[in-house]
Amino acid sequence: MLAMKLEGAAASGAPGSRIFTKQFHGVGPCRLVVSNTGSQPLTAAVVSVGPDADTLAPLDTTTFATLAAGATAGLWIQAPVGVLAFQATSAAGTTLTVSVETAVGVN
């Protein structure tokens, strides 16, 4: 089930752009899918999780870190997710489509 989708999200230079921070109320597992719809690669990316938006910790810094222009990658998150956040950097700037898929709906 599609829990959220963002199209045309801009990723820019360091320290990167916060693409989203969203409350998922403990839903999980889920899959984060990122498509680089722009013309430049990502140069860094951080997926963070936590019980709330003030207590986030990095979960993954490699899956999307060098995502090429036109490429798509996904990250399976097995544990229940309170809050999920994604930050991306592209030295020359690019655009992304980002979605989160879950087995059940999100309130």
Q: What is the pLDDT of residues 20-76, one digit of tens each?
A: 999 999 988 999 999 999 999 999 999 999 999 999 999 999 999 999 999 999 999
Q: Is residue 71 part of a domain?
A: yes
pTM here is: 0.93
Q: Is residue 44 part of a domain?
A: yes
Domain count along the chain: 1
Helix H or strand E segment including 101 = strand 94-102
Q: Is residue 42 part of a domain?
A: yes
Q: Is residue 107 part of a domain?
A: no
Tell me what pLDDT residue 106 has: 56
Q: Is residue 56 part of a domain?
A: yes
CATH number of the domain where residue 95 is located = 2.60.120.1110
Helix (H, G, I), strand (E, B) or coil at 89: strand
- Domain hosting residue 19, numbered range: 2-102
